[in-house]
Chain A
Amino acid sequence: MKFSCRHFFRILLLLWLAAYSGMLSAKTWYVGILAPRGVQAAQQEWQPWLNWLSTQWENETFILVPMQLADAEQMIADKRVNFVLAPQAQFLSMKTGVEMRWLATLNRMDMAQPKAAELVGSAVWVRKDSGLQDIAQLRGKTIAAVQENAFGGFLLGYKLLYDAQLRENRDYSLVFTGYPIDQTLLLLDRKQVDAAIAPLCLMEEMQSRGVLDSAQFQLLHPVNNHSACAGSTELFPNWSLAALPDVPDSLATRLGSLLLQNQADVLLPGWSPVVASTRVEEILHSIYRHPFQQSVWAGIKNWVNEYKTWVGITLLLVALSFLNYAWVSWLAWRRQKQITQAYEQMRTYERMMMHADRLNILGEMASGIAHEVNQPVSVIRHYAEGTRYRLQKQQTHTELIPVLDKVIEQVERITQIIENLRKWAKSERNDQSVPVNIAQAVAKSVQFVRLQNDRHPMNIHINIPADLVLLTVPSVIEQVLVNSLLNCWQQQATQVDMSIRYFEEPFLGITIADNAGGFSQEQLEFPFVPFRTNKDQGLGLGLVICERLMRVIGGSLLLDNRSDGIAGAVVTLKLPLKKHSDPKGVKASS
């Protein structure tokens, strides 16, 4: 008894093991079915067919996986489903990268009472009260659609807009509602959008459910089709079943032929051979939404992955060159700032020079005019006073005496005006003597002249001791130097030599010798005649002013021609040597 009992258990275990191994060989297949109208509707519709399918194999089980359009792409990519049943057009616009074997196309379409999303097509709806009649009028409007990759719920409508030359963002804005697809029309109904791209038959279905009153809406771009639904585009009725790569060929083939053979059972959907998808591809191409067209970015990604090192190095080089560029830019900016600053300083100096020059010219002109006017005024005064004196002495025509007095009065007025003019001309000068390093003053003047005249290069050779310091008026020295150098330049000199000339105490000279031909005999005999010039635009006051400036500081300006065989002028600034308390002070010994 004990033995038989044990035997019985052993047999039971074996049976169980056998049953278990049978269960192990059975396989579960997941069939992803697009469920545009929700999970329940999908289950209700497709569970019987899946049950039937499972009965056709002993060990294979088929499980319904309702898919939302948004998830479908990911689910396929993740291999969470083995079969897919969906509108073929829809899947062409997906970028899953997974190869699909299309097994059969569903031909169970009840054309008389189609349901939304069974037939693939778009209907573009607006509210009747909006008055919109044409696709082109949607410019500037907001349009609702299901999803960016929804074929009927967006792409077909998008093509209509595209063909009407309307471009996303530029001409209209889009609102994607996602699933459930009812949202598109509900937004339109609530006036949150101006138009809606709805999947075909959605309006009719919602009307029949009593959600919307279709009389309130207007279809744009109506196109005749063989269904009972109003649509704006052609229809793509092809729901097809596809096997994904992990389904063995034998199973796929058997399933295909099983579906095509079994046409008898009315309760089950009927199938026909796969319909070609050329037209869908054409449409996707025309609106640049075909998966292969969009793979450029993906291609770049792959390429980058493949050449990671090189891309890294290139990026590093780009970054380095950018840094380098930034560094160089900064250096350039800093240098430019320095140059600008130096230039500004030079400009200020130039302005000061110009100002001093203007005042000098004005002073010289005032004094020149005063002198010139003085002569005729003297003449008038002499005649008037002489005549008055005679009349008074001879006691004749004494009635003329007051007249002559008036003349004399006016002459005195003129004299006063001239006197004021002269005073002004003399007052505008700052004659503060300070220790001046002659070499530095010369260098400053030379630099100024060089900057002024870089067109015509003039070689200036300076031979002046660096430690020579004189107590004098720097602005005068610089102005006379600049004027003299500019004269050389204007006379087309190419070589100028500047040096120190030692006079008898207490004088010292700065000489400027050029090679521009020299002075004429007349110029040397009458050196400082105002308003005499050989330049077109000169006033003829340059040398006159320089001479006067030199006299003001107790020196003089000497003009001569070179005696060393070179045809050129020598201008000498003869400066008085004033004692200066600085121990470095005046150093004039040769």
Chain B
Amino acid sequence: MKPDTLPIHIVDDDASVREALLYLLQSLGYDAQTWPDGRSFLDGADIGKGGVVILDIRMPHLSGQELYQLLIEAKSTLAVIILTGHADVPMAVEMLKKGVVDFLQKPVALAQMDVALENALAQAERNLLCCRLRSLYASLSPREKQVTELVLQGKTNRMIADELYIAVRTVEVQRASAMQKMQVDNLPEFVRAVNQACMKP
């Protein structure tokens, strides 16, 4: 077992497929939770915690597409892999545009699944990070956000002070506070963190 990995969810209405996929994932060194349909997944899983979902498309009650739509609306950080028996190109394009990590067709090969999982886990990590940074960014005061914005534009403390009609000292204090809140030590990290936080997931 890879100790530091995020949780993996398998949502498929076919029990045999669920079990086999779990076996495959376990062979690859992952663990996963299985869900028979979208409804029970939404009710039972912690979708805010981050992780990867392997979704079937054709399922009763909620189709894979509808479930994914709900996840988007809930601003979930989960990375999604679609694994379907009846893939068609328009659907795949649409789903990829919406942000799924991979669109796989059953029966999927181990190697393919391995790559997809690695990508998805990385994506999930990014999502989580992004989510964390965004909440950090959200904790900045309006003045701190103003200063941060100008810092990102490459302006010096003096230029910012002039622009905002405040003292240079005040700018320095605000800037240090913001960097502390964003949990960074230097300017490059600060710029990257703020950029990631403002990006759409």
Given contacts A375-B85, A381-B109, A415-B107, contact A386 B27 (CB under 8 A): yes
Q: Is the CB of A132 closer than 8 A to any CB of chain B?
A: no
* Distance from B103 Cβ to chain A, minimum over Cβ atoms (Å): 15
Chain B CB count within 10 A is highest, among A370, A378, A381, A415, for: A378
Q: B27 contacts A390, CB within 8 Å?
A: yes
- The verdict on A307 contacting chain B, using a C-beta distance below 8 Å, is no
- A385 pairs with B17, CB closer than 8 A: no
User: Across the interface, do B27 and A378 meet the contact criterion of CB distance under 8 Å?
Assistant: no
Cβ-defined contact, A371 with B17, below 8 A: no
One digit per residue, 1 when the CB lies within 8 angstroms of any chain B CB and 0 when it does not, for chain A 70-101 equals: 00000000000000000000000000000000
The residues of A that contact B27 with a CB separation of less than 8 Å are 385-387, 389-390
Q: Are B108 and A378 in contact (CB under 8 A)?
A: yes
Alpha-carbon distance A430/B8, docked complex (angstroms):
43
A interface SS class: helix
Chain A residues within 8 Å of B21, by CB: 378, 382
Within 8 A of A (CB), among B67-121: 85-86, 106-110
Of B20, B58, B60, B86, which one neighbours A382 at CB under 8 angstroms? Answer: B20
Chain B residue nearest to A367 in the complex (CB) = B86
For A300, the chain B residues whose CB sits under 8 A away are: none
Q: Check: A526 CB closer than 8 A to any chain B CB.
A: yes
Interface string of B21-33 (1 = CB under 8 A from A): 1011011100000
Question: CB of A374 within 8 A of chain B?
Answer: yes
- Asked whether B153 is an interface residue with its Cβ less than 8 Å from the other chain, the reply is no
Q: Closest residue of chain A to B114, judged by CB?
A: A389
Closest-by-CB residue of A relative to B87 is A422
* Contact (Cβ within 8 A) B58 A371: yes
Contact yes or no, B24 A374, CB < 8 A: no
Name the residue on B nearest A383 (C-beta).
B20
Docked-complex contact B16 and A376, CB < 8 angstroms: yes
The answer to the question of A436 belonging to the interface, with a C-beta cut-off of 8 Å to chain B, is no
CA distance A14 to B56 in the complex (A): 155
B85 engages A411 (CB within 8 Å)? no
Report whether B26 and A374 are in contact in the complex, using a CB–CB cutoff of 8 Å: no
* Distance in angstroms between the alpha carbons of A374 and B21 in the assembled complex: 13
Segment 1-60 of B: residues with Cβ below 8 Å from A: 14, 16-17, 19-21, 23-24, 26-28, 58, 60
Total contacting residues, chain B, CB less than 8 A: 20
Complexed CA–CA distance, A127 and B12 (Å): 112
A269 to chain B, nearest CB (A): 126
Is there contact, CB below 8 Å, between A375 and B110? no
Chain A proximity of B172: nearest CB distance (Å)? 54
A375 to B107, CA, bound (A): 7
B137 to chain A, nearest CB (A): 37
Instruction: Report the bound CA distance from A378 to B24 in whole Å.
Output: 11
Residues of chain B lying within 8 A (CB to CB) of residue A389: 27-28, 110
In the bound complex, residues from chain B placing their C-beta under 8 Å from that of A374 are 85-86, 106-107
- In the complex, what distance in Å separates the CA atom of A370 from the CA atom of B21? 19
A371 in contact with B85 given A378-B20, A379-B16, A386-B24 (CB within 8 Å): yes
Q: Which of B17, B60, B86, B109 touches A379 (beta carbons < 8 Å)?
A: B17
Question: Distance (Å) between the CB of A401 and the closest chain B CB?
Answer: 13
Cα–Cα, bound, A374→B17 (Å): 10
CA distance A415 to B112 in the complex (A): 15
| Residue A346 CB within 8 A of the other chain | no
Known: A371-B58, A390-B27. A385 touches B16 (CB 8 A): no
Collect the chain A residues with CB atoms within 8 Å of residue B58's CB: 371
In the complex, which residues of chain B have a beta carbon less than 8 angstroms from the beta carbon of A379?
Answer: 16-17, 19-20
Chain B residues, CB < 8 A from A367: 86
Across-interface contacts of B16 in A (CB, < 8 A): 375-376, 379
* B109 / chain A contacts, CB cutoff of 8 Å: 381, 385
Contact B86 A378, beta carbon cutoff 8 Å: no
Chain B residues in the interface with A (C-beta under 8 A): 14, 16-17, 19-21, 23-24, 26-28, 58, 60, 85-86, 106-110
Listed by A's residue number, 7 A-B pairs whose Cβ atoms lie within 8 Å are A375-B16, A375-B106, A379-B20, A383-B20, A383-B23, A385-B110, A386-B27
Q: Nearest 4 A-B pairs (CB), nearest first?
A: A382-B20, A386-B27, A378-B107, A385-B110
Residue positions of A touching B, CB distance < 8 A: 367, 370-371, 374-383, 385-390, 411, 415, 526
Interface contacts beyond A371-B85, A374-B85: sample of 8 additional A-B pairs, CB < 8 Å, sorted by A: A381-B108, A381-B109, A382-B107, A383-B23, A385-B24, A386-B24, A386-B26, A386-B110
